[in-house]
Structure 1
Amino acid sequence: MSKIILVIPVGRDFRLLPRCLEHYHLQGVEQIFLNVHARMEWGSDLVDRIQEIGRQYNARIGHVHHRVYTESCHTTRIILDHYAKQDDWVIYSDVDEFQEYPDSLHNIIEYCERNQYDYVRGLLLDRVAIDGSLPMLNDRSLPAQFPVAAQITGVIRHGDTNKIVLSRAGIPMGSGQHFTAAGKGAPVQTLRVTVHHFRWDSEAPANLSYMKQMLDSIDVVWAGEYQRILDHLGRNNGRFDLSDPALMVHYPPVSRQKNSPPSTLSAEYMGKITSDSILSRNKDDVLNQDEQSKYSIRRYGKKVSSLNISAAMIWTLCDGERTVDELVSDLAFEYDQKVDEVHEDVFTAIKKLVGDNLLHLLPSGNKPKNLHWNTCQQTQFLHSLDYQTHPELYRDVGLCHGLLAQVRGRKYQQQTNFHFYWRQLDVPFGDKQIATLTACLATQNLDLSNVLLWYSGATAPEHPELDKLIDDGYVQVKKYDPCTLAEGTPLEGNHGRLLLQDGKCYLDGDLFRLLVLFRFGGVYVDMDVLLLRDFSPLLTFEFMYSWGSDQPALINGAVMRFFPGSVALDRMLAEIMDSEPIPESTCWGATIYGRVRNRYHFTVLPYGFFNPEWACFEGKNQGYAESPETFMTANTASQNIYRCAYAWHWHNKWAQKVEANSKFDLLRNMLTRSWQDKKRFLGYCRTR
């Protein structure tokens, strides 16, 4: 018989421990273990005081550590390995986190076991005082003291608000319990836990300063997150600026069932909440297709299970993170049907979407259910991809997309720069360039992304749509000064190399991407590339991609990701210093990339991730467009748009006119609609 176990990290500030233990005791938790961090300077009696509080709720100390800083997930694993069985269920909660479940824990666990789900996700909801101040903690209920919901962690701190709150004990957790690379999670569309975060009282500034100082001493990268909050409080007289619309919460509270357990969180817990959010579609929110093939959110008062609704639900769920079997399971839950009864309807619905040119099967012809890539759930698998170990992925774009169809990468938690460079002085900045920027905005997590457009020349790019993006704060435009960016690199002071240009932007374009990524880190994207999906699963490692299937040793830099100060980039810049420049060649590009990778490893992903048609240029994988010349013209190959590729490279067809229903036109329209929906539903647009 499986147990419900709670593990709580406890440290120097344990004022909320009694309330936290009471809260979870009422939820039906059977065993509670305290994971104690006890530095000697915090007092020799710290462990005894925590243990005394724990005894009142039958909570025991499972582990004590004294180091400057230790990831709680590591010491929690020590506790679970000693006290828990693989099939026990574990609640992960900090002492200031109070989880609100939509049903009793036993019912939720029964639902997960019935559907073979291994963990449940939650979203962090920061709770603050009604005026944004930091009051002293008193004996009143926490919801009464902190009635307002605000996005402090997500917007100000730039932290990750996704949490894994409940899982089987055998599922390993990543940093901060924000992600796991194992198991199968319950779909957030049907089960999501709200995590109320009661941290923002009068002691918060001192605690933040102490944590930042401690993390700085061991060079932990997220120490800066604490400084962002301190800076915000400093600018606003020690308060959170609740007049800022960005702090508004854009997901509704969890709806509690009649048989929910009693809770320390009363009905007054809701503060500033907006419910019209696409982030958390209710069961009766479905996506309908009207006569003009446009999409709108419709709300139904009862459950329905017609083919059209199934097709619409599949469309909303086809995000590259679900297999067909998981779609079937999700739909069965939506419509209270057995899995077997839904299975055929799902494939019929997929067929209908394909027939309407709204969804496209794999170019290899394989049905998604037949794909065999299971290890792709681990980000580490993508990191380790190599032509020597998986040559089939570099030869067959269908197999490559079979992998991508099932990628479930973790959500990257750090701020990421997306760099674009415009230097084509003989081509005006127009709608195609806007499409490139729009694609990035539509697909990336803007809370954690900075979109930067760099330019060289006397004047910045001009376009009405670009002006709007700049005014609304979505895009930053920066002047490219290679001499400044080269400071501290092997090219510092070498103006002959730094200021060199050629007619096709080969030399200076190749130099730009190395300099800007070495200095600032992030992702570089060519201006003739449309991003098609969230890069989060790829952001934990450095990469470029292969140049076709016949020459996997050649490396393409149209899309690349590197960290600031990268050793590989440093060596590439040194190679430029020692290489004779050849105008309109790849001497500062693919030639250098290959030489450096032989000595300083970085991942070279298959071309199918970013350039699906490349094999067609080589006379393989027919069915996609055969030549870049067809990208702007309407033809049957235009319909082959597979949504699980990360990007689409349209190879500098700047002067070619875009025809209606061409591949470029279809993708641009899809991404533009997605960006418009994102602004409308996620609150990114501001009232003009």
Structure 2
Amino acid sequence: MLTPTLIAVIGPVEAALLTTWIKHYRRLGVERFLLTFHFPEHVPDERRHELHAVCRQSGIVPAGSSSGPWHEYTNSHIRDALRHQAGRGWHLFADADEFQQYPTHLREVVAQAERSRRQVVGGLLLDRVSADGHLTDWNQGDGLDLAYPLGGHLTHRLLHGDPRKIVLARHEVSLSSGNHRAPGHQPDPDRLCAVHHFKWRTGILDDLRRRVDHFSTGLWREQSPAVRDEAGRLLAHVGRYQGRVNVADPRFAFRRVSLGLMPHSWPAEARAVHTAWQPPATSREGGQ
């Protein structure tokens, strides 16, 4: 059985993050990467060249590269074109700040899904932050686990965003924006992948402010106000706590976690969140 083809739209992340991300998924067993870069207008050429160089050094030829506004539907359009190129079989979906963690080998995860006649595998975001909640930089030599040792539920309990992810799907299964749902298909709630979410790093506040501004002015087109509202909630929160996430807030359930060892409580914890989550009554579903 072949391992799934990894499908991803890559934005202007740090070169070190993309390098670490590729190594992570290769360790999981991924053999085929179908990546497309998309860069908003403000991204300097130097950053673009660095990311292309990472791919060359990793033996990956990007499927494409584009620049321009990051409309809410941009990711979905590029993702679906990549899926068409990938062809038949299983597809794996991961943003560049998402590091998936499974209790067993990726091939066995797919085999389990096929035995149970499911066409998707689900995951749940586990937001990673620094020990004191500051939105810090990180050192590639030390690794992500040392820089962001805490994992918790920030996305849905603070931002009111959808923490559910479709991490694997058969080629014929359609996905919603942000890979949050596969209409007509339900993942096994007892076999949810932990999606370690390393979004809360240096530079994220500027990104969120730009997102709010560009969606508000119409420079970037949105499908609902959900994404903009989520960004606003994070900005308001760190504004109240001197530029950091309040890791002591019990709602977020932050504790030390690791990419090397899935939390013992994860299956029951993820199932409870996944089955109970509902979008805010005032907004439709939005992407992350």
Same topology, TM > 0.5: yes
Q: CA deviation at 1:41?
A: 3.4
Partner of 2:4: 4
Aligned partners of 2:267 and 2:24: how far apart in 1? 30
Per-residue CA deviations over 1:298-331 (Å, capped at 9, x if unaligned) read xxxxxxxxxxxxxxxxxxxxx9xxxxxxxxxxxx
Distance 1:110 1:274, change over 3 A: closer
RMSD: 2.8
Tell whether 2:135 aligns with 1:134: yes
Q: Which amino acid aligns with 1:137?
A: W
Q: 2:79 aligns with which of 73, 76, 80?
A: 76
Greater radius of gyration (CA): 1
Alpha-carbon distance change, 32 to 275 in structure 1, aligned in 2, over 3 angstroms: closer
Are the counterparts in 1 of residues 41 and 69 from structure 2 also a CA contact under 8 Å?
no
Residue by residue, what CA displacement relative to the aligned partner does 1:144-179 show, whole Å, maximum 9, x if unpaired? 111111222111211110000111122111010000
Of 203, 219, 237, the residue aligned with 2:242 is 237
**Which residue number corresponds to residue 108 of structure 2?**
107
Paired AA for residue 181 in structure 1: P
Taking structure 1 as the reference length, the TM-score comes to: 0.37
1:537-577 CA-partner distances (Å, limit 9, x unpaired): xx78xxxxxxxxxxxxxxxxxxxxxxxxxxxxxxxxxxxxx
Give how far 1:247 is off.
Answer: 1.3
Corresponding residue SS for 1:125: strand
Q: 1:216 deviation in Å?
A: 2.3
| Cα pair distance change 1:201/1:44, threshold 3 Å | closer
Q: Secondary structure at the match of 1:61?
A: coil
Q: Alpha-carbon deviation of 1:38?
A: 2.0
Task: Name which of 410, 416, 422 aligns with 2:281.
Answer: 416
Conservation of the 8 A alpha-carbon contact between 1:14 and 1:95: no
Residues 257-292 of structure 1, C-alpha deviation per residue, up to 9 Å, x if partnerless? xxxxxxx9234x86xx977956537xxxxxxxxxxx
Q: Within 2, Cα distance between the matches of 1:85 and 1:116? A: 20
1:593-612 aligned within 5 A:
none
Task: State yes or no: 1:34 paired with 2:35.
Answer: yes
Alignment-mate amino acid for residue 138 of structure 2 = L
Rounded to whole Å, the distance in 2 between the matches of 1:238 and 1:45 is 28
Paired AA for residue 13 in structure 2 = D
> Which stretch has the larger CA shift, 212-221 or 97-106?
212-221
Give 1:318-467 correspondences, 5 Å limit: 413=279, 415-416=280-281
Q: Is the 8 A contact 1:7 1:33 kept in 2?
A: yes
Within 5 A, what are the aligned runs for 1:122-521?
Answer: 122-139=123-140, 140-182=142-184, 184-189=185-190, 191-218=191-218, 220=222, 221=225, 222-248=227-253, 265-267=259-261, 280=271, 413=279, 415-416=280-281
Indicate the SS of the match to 2:29: coil
Corresponding residue number in structure 2 for 1:643: none
Deviations 1:472-529 (A, max 9, x none): xxxxxxxxxxxxxxxxxxxxxxxxxxxxxxxxxxxxxxxxxxxxxxxxxx8xxxxxxx
Q: Secondary structure at the match of 2:212?
A: helix
**SS of the residue aligned with 1:240?**
coil
Equivalent pair of 2:11/2:37 in contact (CA under 8 Å):
yes
Query: What's the secondary structure of 2:91's corresponding residue?
Result: strand
CA distance in 1 between counterparts of 2:53 and 2:266 reads: 42
Structure 2 length-normalised TM: 0.84
The AA in structure 1 aligned to 2:164 is: N
Is contact 2:247-2:254 (8 Å) kept? Answer: no
Residue 114 of structure 1: how far off its partner (Å): 2.4
Cα drift, residue 46 of structure 1: 4.6
Runs of 4+ in structure 1 over 4 Å off: 273-279
Flag structure 1 segments of 5+ consecutive residues without an equivalent: 254-263, 282-318, 320-410, 418-521, 523-538, 541-688
SS at match of 1:134: coil
Offset, 1:14 = 3.4
Alignment-derived partner of residue 22 in structure 1: 23
Q: 1:215 to 1:26 in 2, by over 3 A?
A: same
Q: Distance in 2 between matches of 1:17 and 1:55?
A: 12
In structure 2, relative to structure 1, the CA distance for the partners of 1:33 and 1:278 (3 Å cut) is: closer
